[in-house]
């Protein structure tokens, strides 16, 4: 329902054309909205909770074998987090549309592993494929395979950005009571805090990363290379920058039916700090013995450095340019009254870059007010690396203040298969003035 019913600052990054609709408030703003989610299509619930909540727990031999087997999946792990530090929308005088700004943080991660890559990340030099081609002292027994063959189907992607958004929407066509069309555009300046993109498929390998010092990556001898823009220190220092654009159209038919279409994240990033790249190579003898705990995420992040804990031999680079995670968003819905709304959303990734959805997302939902001060939200959703889920949200509504809490999956945290944990909070939403 987001494409057709998101209004005010929530339209940014979804469909800026919705800013051209006439809402009920002159000013709407929020402080500190947060949403996080993580899920797996292959791990058991117990393994998932260990990875997410108890990563320091030790791995037994039996658990190690089971973990390697279950990490062999196209969707071994997906992580998403969004935070809006500040959002503001203003309804301009009659006929001039609406304007919104926001400061937004976005994190996404996607992990797909084949049997060999899962084994190598968990067991290092003790992995079966290493023992097949190398002796215990690292001497090659025969020519090891290329990584593009041994790790085919592996993807490890991470993107963390800080975004400054502005959007504008305007009514462009109106036949009163029959049809109304609005158009909108958005712009964002993006600070890149970190990106990593490893993709091995169809006999080709592409790998690069650019990570802020907050990730605590050991770059070894690369740090002193004249081709390496080494950034050290602490905190969320940007290591890249870029510009993104959103375009959207929205239609309202008879004040009941709403349709929306938008393309978001058009643009590119230029990554200039701590940039390393890798190309195809033969499987080398790993200089690490694997992980002793459930901290698999750290083991994966270590693959982007050069401290002897990586499968790749990296080269230093001055800069790497990459497209933004462009998406096509389509939506349709009906609004029976102020008490009931229903809709359908489809989001299609238009490129395969770090930060984008791994597959198409489809969601159907409804909002219902049993009383005017409570709004309930639910529906079904699936895709984008997750199985079928039932979201649920509760929002307290007053004329000037809203507070809400929701989850994208009611049973995901408790499900033994396809575990999914998510939570979204927003307690400081305000609307001022009446149109």
Residue 371, domain member (yes or no): no
Contacts of 349 (CB under 8 A, 6+ apart): 325, 326, 327, 356, 357, 358, 359, 360
- Domain range for residue 15? 2-252+264-324
314 alpha-carbon distance from chain centroid: 25
The pLDDT value recorded for residue 387 is 85
**What does the block give as tokens for 376?**
């309930």
Question: Between vectors from CA 282 to CA 113 and to CA 122, what angle results, nearest 5°?
Answer: 35
Six-digit token pair at 233?
A: 């220190």
Q: Are 66 and 123 in contact (CB under 8 A)?
A: no
The pLDDT, as a whole number, for residue 23 is 67
Q: Which residue has the tokens 């494409």?
A: 3
85 to 125, 164, 261, 426: CA distances (angstroms):
44, 10, 26, 11
What length does the chain have? Answer: 435
pLDDT at 113 (0 to 100): 96
Rg (CA), the chain: 24
Which residue blocks in 72-143 are alpha helix, DSSP H?
115-123, 128-133
Q: What does the block give as tokens for 210?
A: 């650019």
Asked whether residue 204 is assigned to any structural domain, the reply reads: yes
Q: How many domains does the chain have?
A: 1
Q: Has residue 48 been placed in a domain?
A: yes
Residue 136 placed within a domain: yes
How many CA atoms are closer than 13 Å to the CA of 378, on its beta-carbon side? 7
295 within a domain of the structure (yes/no): yes
Closest listed residue to residue 344, CA positions, set 358, 360, 359:
360
**3-state DSSP of 276-332:** EEECCCECCCCCCCCCCECCHHHHHHHHHCCCCCCCCCCEEECCEEEECCCEEEEEE
CA atoms within 13 A on the CB side of 163: 27
Q: Is residue 51 part of a domain?
A: yes
- Could you tell me if residue 413 is inside a domain? no
pTM, full prediction: 0.92
- Quick one: pLDDT at residue 428? 93
- The tokens for 46 are 């117990």
For each successive 10 residues of the chain (435 residues), what is the average pLDDT? 81 94 84 95 94 92 95 95 96 89 96 96 94 93 95 96 97 92 97 96 93 88 87 85 97 92 97 94 90 91 78 91 97 87 94 93 92 93 89 94 94 88 94 80
> Which pair of tokens denotes residue 263?
């393309």
Looking at the domain assignment, is residue 83 inside a domain? yes
């Amino acid at each position: 329902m987001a494409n057709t019913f998101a209004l005010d600052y929530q339209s940014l990054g979804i469909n800026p054309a919705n800013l051209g609709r006439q809402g009920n408030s002159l000013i709407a703003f929020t402080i500190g909205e947060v949403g996080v989610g993580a899920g797996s299509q292959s791990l058991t619930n117990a393994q998932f909770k260990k990875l997410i909540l108890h990563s320091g727990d030790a791995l037994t031999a039996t658990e190690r074998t089971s973990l390697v087997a279950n990490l062999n999946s196209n969707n071994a792990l997906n992580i998403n987090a969004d935070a809006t530090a500040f959002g503001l929308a203003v309804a301009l005088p009659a006929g001039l549309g609406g304007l919104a700004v926001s400061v937004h943080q976005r994190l996404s991660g996607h992990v797909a592993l084949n049997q060999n890559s899962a084994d190598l990340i968990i067991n290092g030099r003790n992995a079966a494929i290493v023992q097949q081609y190398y002796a215990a002292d690292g001497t090659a027994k025969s020519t090891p395979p290329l990584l593009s063959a041994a790790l085919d189907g592996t993807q490890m992607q991470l993107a963390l950005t800080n975004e400054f958004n502005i959007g504008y929407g305007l009514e462009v066509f109106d036949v009163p009571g029959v049809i109304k069309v609005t158009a909108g555009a958005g712009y964002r300046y993006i600070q890149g805090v970190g990106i990593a993109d490893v993709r091995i498929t169809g006999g080709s390998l592409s790998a690069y990363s650019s990570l802020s010092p907050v990730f605590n990556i050991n770059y070894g001898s690369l740090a002193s290379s004249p081709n390496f823009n080494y950034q050290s220190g602490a905190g969320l220092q940007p290591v890249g920058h870029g510009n993104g654009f959103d375009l959207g159209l929205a239609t309202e038919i008879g004040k009941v039916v709403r349709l929306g279409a938008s393309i978001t994240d058009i643009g590119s990033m230029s990554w200039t700090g701590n940039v390393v790249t890798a190309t195809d190579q033969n499987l080398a003898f790993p200089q690490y013995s694997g992980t002793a705990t459930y901290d698999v995420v750290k083991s994966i992040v270590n693959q982007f450095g050069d401290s002897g804990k990586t499968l790749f031999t990296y080269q230093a680079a001055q800069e790497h340019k990459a497209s933004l995670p462009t998406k096509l968003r389509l939506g349709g819905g009906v609004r029976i009254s102020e008490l009931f709304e229903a809709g359908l959303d489809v989001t299609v990734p238009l490129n395969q870059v770090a930060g984008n959805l791994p597959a198409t997302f489809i969601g159907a939902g409804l909002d219902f007010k049993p009383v005017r001060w409570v709004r309930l939200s639910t529906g079904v959703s699936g895709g984008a690396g997750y199985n079928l889920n039932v979201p649920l949200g509760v929002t307290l509504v007053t004329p000037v203040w809203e507070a809400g809490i929701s989850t994208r999956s009611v049973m995901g945290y408790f499900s033994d298969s396809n575990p999914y944990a998510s939570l979204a909070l927003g307690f400081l939403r305000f609307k001022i003035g009446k149109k």
